[in-house]
Every structure is written in structure tokens, then in C-alpha cells.
Amino acid sequence: MSSFLGSTGIPVSDVTVGTSPLGRGTSPGTAEEAAAVETARAMLTGPFALVDTSNAYAEGRSETVLGLARRALESTTSATVVTKVDRDPETGAFGRDRVLRSFEESLDRLGVDRVPVLHLHDPYTVSFAEATGPGGAVEALVELREAGAVDAIGIAAGPIPLMTAYVDTGAFDVVLSHNRFTLVDRSAQPLFENARARGMGVFNAAPFGAGILAKGAGPGASYGYRPAPPDLVDWAGRAERICADHGTTLIAVALRFSLRSPLVDSTVVGVSSAGRLAELDALRSAPVPDEVWPELDALGPAPTPIADPPLEGPR
């Protein structure tokens, strides 16, 4: 189940492993770190082509743990690591100099000389004009691509108006959106269509909405990192019953929604353990009857709690 990331020529599998919780709360030389490294080893030798991380995940520990696992495995890894540049954690600075420092920090932690894909991650501490102007973050990313330090550059964030503005610059090869192309929220569809028309690669992250589509419509249900409103809980409960009537589960259908879309090259799913990795591998092959889709459509649009703000300032 491999293909390529848009027109970049970079191979991907239908699922990419996300690592935002990897190494969180661990310290060097501890049993907790060793357990995280074992999880990273499973990711790097598993059935998925890419492992997605970031300079900022777990305050840098995600990349560090992946680097430890890579060094232990030497040349036996089957997966490639892609990462993201992040703002300065103390000052919020996110210009050209910070992008280059963030990239070097990531290479050092991961123990690599280059990465195939490097994303600009959550550029919320600078305006779009600052990021795309002289001395901005985008300038640095383009420099890295032109120097051969990376094969492709991407924009990875949430709000669709902001993401659309970055895609419209024509500077990027890849886009990564989260929580906005799911059974609950389709707001990323025009963004992905735009990217596709440009030959860009498309990652769809968080197909479970970071909550309710994986855990169900029970107490404490959430979507997009916030509590799910009652009308969404009701919608998800009805969707669960439809899935059960057809011998499947809401989580399997939610994943298949992304996997079956011609707009998506690879779906990014966060994994917290080797056991979860094995469950994800099984889940992507779980049967989903065709009859499920029209019945879910008949429920009407889900009441998504996400309301992206318009882009502020000059584009």
C-alpha cells in the first residue's frame, strides 16, 4: 500500500506514524526513556514508510528518542523520519535564523544529515507577511531545499484560511492539515483540492479528531483538543450505531474515510506504544461495507466545534 507524495517522488504508505507523545516526560538514561526507545524501534522497523515528528514534540524528546533508536538499529530501519521546524520555545521567534537553528537541532537529535520532508510547523507567532517576507521562515525553507538539505518543504498547521494562504504562495511541495478532513469536519477539502491541482503532496493528520472518532461518544468525549458539544456527541452516537449495524466500528470507518480519499497521499495517526502500532496496522485493513457511507451521509453534516478565524493582515 505504497504510493508517492504528490509529485515529489518521495514514497509514502497509506498511513504515516505520528510521534507527538513519544518520549514525553522522559529523562536521559532512565527506564522510561528505554521504553520510549523500544517504541521508536518498533516504529522505525514497522510496516509504514514514514515516521512524522517535530522539533517541538515532547520538548525535543521525540526526536531524541527516535535518534537513539536509529543509532541502535544502524541500517536496519524500514521507515524514514520526516520532521518540522518550530518557533523558538522561549522567545517565539520564527524567522529565517530560527528555522535554520531548528533544522540543525533536529538533525543533531535524529543523527541524520538530511530529511526528505521538512515542514513549517504552526507559524502562529509571526504574521503571514513576516513569514513570507525577506528574512522570513519561508525564505529559509526554500534555501534548504535549493541546497539539497531537504527534498521537499511543507506547511503543517490548522486554520484553513492560513494554510490556504501558504499554499497559494507556490513555495511549498507538501501540505499537512489536522482535524479538518474527517467524518466530522470537511473544511480542509478545498485546501487539499488546491494542493492537488498544484501537484503537492497531501498529509491528512488526526483522522479521529483527536478524540471522539476513536474513543466513541462517551463521557468526556472531545474533538480537536476541546470538549465535544452535546450535538456532536449525539451525532457520533448515531454514527456508532450505523457502524455496529454493519459489523464495523466508528474508528475503522473514520480511518477508512481518509484512506479512501483520492485527495490524501498519507494519513498521519499518532501512536503511543508498540501495541498501538500493531493495532493501527490491523485497523487499516479492517473491512468497511460500502453501505455504511450513504447511511452516514444521511445523518447530515456533523456539528463540528472547529471555527477557523479569517487570515489577518496583508497576504
Angle ∠(290,298,262) on CA atoms, nearest 5: 50
Q: How confident is the model at residue 75 (pLDDT cuts 50, 70, 90)?
A: confident
Question: What's the pTM value of the predicted model, to 2 decimals?
Answer: 0.96
Single-letter amino acid code for the residue at 280: L
Phi-psi region of 43 (alpha: psi -120 to 50; beta: other; left: phi over 0): alpha
| pLDDT score of 137 more than 90 | yes
Residue 313: per-residue pLDDT = 56
- Identify the CATH homologous superfamily for domain 2-208+258-287: NADP-dependent oxidoreductase domain (3.20.20.100)
User: Residue range 232-253: average pLDDT?
Assistant: 97
Q: Which of helix, strand or coil describes residue 267?
A: strand
pLDDT, average across residues 179-194: 97
Q: How confident is the model at residue 297 (pLDDT cuts 50, 70, 90)?
A: very high
pLDDT for the residue numbered 124: 96
CA 81, CA 18: separation in Å to the nearest integer? 10
Task: Note the pLDDT tens digit of each residue in 202-229.
Answer: 999 999 998 899 999 888 899 988 899 9
Assign 63 to helix, strand or coil. Answer: helix
By mean pLDDT, which of 46-50, 78-82, 155-159, 306-310 is the weakest? 306-310
Res. 2: pLDDT tops 80? no
Phi, psi for residue 200 in degrees, rounded to 5? -75, 155
Residues 6+ apart with CB under 8 A from 4: 10, 11, 12, 201, 265
**Arithmetic mean of pLDDT, 88-99:** 98
CA distance 267 to 257: 10
Predicted local distance difference test score (pLDDT) of residue 6:
97
Q: How many helices (H) and strands (E) does the chain have?
A: 12, 12
CA–CA distance, 263 with 196 (Å, rounded to integer) = 7
- The pLDDT tens digits for 29-47 are 999 999 999 999 999 999 9
Cα 164 from chain centre: 17
Tell me which of 10-14, 105-109, 209-213 is least confident: 209-213
158 pLDDT more than 60:
yes
| pLDDT for residue 167 | 98
Domain extents in the chain:
2-208+258-287
Amino acid identity of residue 59, one-letter, is E
